[in-house]
Copies of this chain bind each other. A is one copy, B any other.
Amino acid sequence: MKLTILIHCPDSVGIISAVTNFIHVKGGNIVYLDQHVDKEAGVFFMRLESEFEQSLNVDGLTKEFEGNLALPYKMAWSIHQLGVKARMAIFVSKYKHCLYDLLSRYDSGELAVEIPFILSNHADLENIAKQFNVPFYHIPISKKNRNEAEAQQLDLLKKHRVDFIVLARYMQIVSSKLIDVYTNKIINIHHSFLPAFAGAKPYHAAFKRGVKIIGATSHYVTAELDAGPIIEQDVTTVSHAHSIADFITKGRDLEKIVLSRAVKLHLQRKTMVYNNKTVIFT
């Protein structure tokens, strides 16, 4: 059995020694350990993978960890058993590229997830969902029905026991109702090199400013638009010879690659959030 443990807590002396000793005594072999100290904030972060030869009583281990380590060191922590597939919902609107990219990775087994459904405020991409045999829900959103629509979304998410949500160029603001339930569990792709060009039409803004490099940013969604903890960014060069249409086409490749990298990091439990920033373990 393979367990991944994520920890953050106030920095103090002896944490690594205490945790690794605990694993060792329980018969576990540590196959990966990475830690980080945010010196300004005085916070310690650790990610640890360990293998246990015999079938382990995870509940018992968890309880002991809680009492012996988590409480005395004031840890925020989580433990994850490898091999249990996370359940990922995809929200889209009309753009195809990120959806196709995620689904082709899902189809080829590169993304080890369950996809209980794809949800959209438009019907346009239903065919793609069908192509890949994934259920598709069309919930239109207008000023009038927003509250109702969000209630429907939450019902679906609950009913399908969704673990996290990927906004694959979903062109609607996500309300705090969803964010509160899925804190640090909604992954968005923004089509600019944040914090430059937050908000609408970033490629147009980048073109107007005459930048020589454009980017894409994947981040966890928070209440403030395009201001959540950044998971992954990438860029590509542009020149005066590129039109806005060229920016958009080049940008699509960035968007889909950056989003899929962020989804994978999340899936592999390699992300931790603190102070609106991420620690990304390698």
Does A113 touch B at the CB level, under 8 Å? no
- Measured between beta carbons, the chain B residues less than 8 angstroms from A110 are 249, 252
CB-based contact A211/B194 at 8 Å? yes
Number of interface residues, chain A, beta carbon within 8 A: 64
Question: A91 CA to B279 CA in the complex, in Å?
Answer: 39
Taking a contact as CB atoms under 8 Å apart, the answer to whether B97 and A239 are in contact is no
- In the complex, what distance in Å separates the CA atom of A24 from the CA atom of B23? 16
Is residue A123 contacting chain B, with contact meaning CB distance below 8 A? Answer: no
B residues near A31, Cβ cutoff 8 Å: 37
A176 close to chain B: CB less than 8 A:
no
Contact A104 B108 (CB under 8 A): no
Interface string of A211-247 (1 = CB under 8 A from B): 1110100000000000001111111000111010000
Chain B residues lying within 8 Å of A39, measured Cβ to Cβ, are 243
Instruction: Verify B17–A280 contact, CB threshold 8 A.
Output: no
Rounded to whole Å, the gap between the CB of A211 and the closest CB of chain B is 6
Measured CB to CB, the nearest residue on chain B to A276 is B210
Main SS class of interface, A: mixed
Give the nearest-CB partner of A105 in chain B.
B97
State in angstroms the CA–CA spacing of A243 and B193 once bound together: 21
Q: How far is the CA of A197 from the CA of B241 in the complex (A)?
A: 26
Q: Per a CB cutoff under 8 Å, which of B24, B97, B196, B278 touches A104?
A: B97
Closest partner residue, chain B, to A34 (CB atom): B34
Binding site for B on A (CB under 8 A): 13-14, 16-18, 20-21, 23-24, 29-39, 96-97, 100-101, 104, 107-108, 110, 131-132, 193-197, 209-213, 215, 229-235, 239-241, 243, 249, 252-253, 257, 260, 275-280, 282
Given A31-B37, A36-B241, 10 additional A-B pairs, CB 8 A: A14-B24, A17-B17, A17-B21, A96-B107, A96-B108, A97-B104, A209-B277, A210-B230, A210-B276, A257-B257
The 18 listed contacts between A and B (C-beta, < 8 Å) are A16-B30, A17-B30, A21-B21, A32-B35, A36-B240, A96-B107, A100-B104, A100-B108, A194-B211, A196-B196, A210-B276, A211-B230, A212-B232, A212-B233, A213-B233, A213-B234, A235-B235, A239-B280
